[in-house]
């Protein structure tokens, strides 16, 4: 299964969610690949820290080779497996983020290379789960991820502006499904930064449910422990597996799989 974490709004926790869900999948014995498509490369920094600077080839190299037609060629060096690097998390590989991605954006867009990421992932063997982390924009890289994915997960940060934007996001996913990727579905809305004792977050979530949006449970709360996990470059679910939020990530991944199974059966 390929999951894309998508929201055009920044600061909603996409990278933290992507890394921890990928780590949960790996911890369950699923061979997992995390694809960092955000030029800020936060997911890469979260997992690798300073070590990331020495790792090549990056996701930027992959897209550069798409432009020059080297990827998926006959030479052994052009195989897509060389872009998937092991991480300190057992069973979790990473396509390393690259700050130079935006320098390639216009060239890739003009050459209409939006299907190449899907083809590259299809050529990779043996991954049970792929998680795609995206930039906070609807651009070439996000479009490529939505085309490559089976399921879209939308983080929601309990803000009224985010609630209003959610319908536009859902519309974008529908358009992508209609025009480019008929198998794409919305796996659910991930409630992040939820304050259990505050009235506004509860009200917003109730409104989402009343409007028929697929809200996933459990909700993810704020925690200083997450920032600590960023600092030591270790997913929270590994650094503090008994922490309440880590347990919620594990339960959330189970809920996502259950929702996908129900969607497939319907």
Q: Could you read off the pLDDT of 231-247 as tens digits, one per residue?
A: 999 999 999 999 999 99
Query: Do the Cβ atoms of 149 and 178 come closer than 8 Å?
Result: no
Kindly state the percentage of the chain with pLDDT values over 70.
96
At residue 70, does pLDDT exceed 80?
no
* pLDDT given at position 69: 67
For the ranges 67-71, 90-94, 104-108, the maximum mean pLDDT occurs at 90-94
What is the pTM for the complete model shown? 0.95
| Residue 74 reports pLDDT greater than 60 | no
| pLDDT tens track for 132-161 | 999 999 999 999 999 999 999 999 998 888
Query: Over the chain, what is the mean pLDDT?
Result: 93
Mean pLDDT of the 78-83 span? 87
Strand partners, 156: 191
Going by pLDDT thresholds of 50, 70 and 90, the confidence category of residue 77 is: very low
Where in the chain are the domains? 9-265
Task: Evaluate if residue 163 carries a pLDDT over 80.
Answer: yes
pLDDT value of residue 87:
98
**pLDDT of the residue at 160:** 82
Is residue 13 predicted with pLDDT exceeding 90? Answer: yes
- Which one, of 265, 158, 167, 261, lies nearest residue 211 by Cα? 167
Beta-sheet strands, E only, within 105-193? 129-133, 151-156, 185-191
Is 32 in a helix, a strand, or coil?
strand
The label of the residue with tokens 């300073």 reads 50
Distance of CA 81 to the CA centre of its chain: 19
Mean pLDDT of all residues in 87-110: 94
Give 65 or 90, the one with higher predicted confidence.
90
**Phi/psi at 2 (nearest 5 deg)?**
-115, 125
Q: Is the peptide bond before 222 cis (omega within 30 degrees of 0)?
A: no
Q: Is the pLDDT of residue 75 over 70?
A: no
Domain 9-265 has CATH 3.40.50.300: yes
More confident residue, 232 or 109: 232
């Amino acid at each position: 299964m390929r999951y894309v974490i998508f929201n055009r709004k920044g600061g909603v926790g996409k990278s933290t969610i992507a890394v921890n869900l990928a780590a949960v999948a790996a911890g369950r014995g699923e061979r997992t690949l995390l694809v960092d498509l955000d030029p800020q490369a936060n997911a890469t920094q979260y997992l690798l820290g300073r070590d990331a600077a020495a790792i090549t080839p990056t996701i930027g190299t992959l897209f550069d080779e798409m432009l020059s037609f080297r990827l998926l060629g006959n030479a052994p060096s052009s195989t897509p497996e060389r872009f998937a690097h092991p991480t300190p998390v057992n069973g979790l590989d990473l396509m390393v983020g690259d700050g130079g991605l935006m320098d390639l954006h216009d060239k890739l867009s003009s050459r209409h290379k939006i299907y190449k990421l899907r083809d590259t992932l299809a050529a990779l063997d043996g991954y049970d789960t792929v998680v795609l982390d995206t930039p906070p924009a609807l651009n070439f890289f996000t479009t490529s991820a939505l085309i490559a994915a089976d399921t879209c997960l939308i983080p929601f940060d309990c803000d009224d502006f985010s609630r209003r934007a959610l319908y536009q996001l859902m519309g974008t996913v529908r358009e992508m499904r209609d025009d480019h990727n008929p198998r794409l579905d919305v796996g659910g809305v991930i409630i992040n930064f939820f304050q259990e004792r505050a009235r506004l977050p509860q009200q917003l979530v109730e409104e989402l449910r009343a409007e028929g949006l697929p809200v996933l449970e459990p909700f993810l709360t704020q925690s200083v422990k997450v920032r600590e996990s960023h600092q030591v470059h270790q997913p929270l679910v590994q650094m503090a597996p008994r922490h309440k939020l880590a347990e919620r990530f594990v339960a959330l991944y189970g809920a996502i799989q259950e929702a996908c199974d129900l969607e497939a059966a319907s």
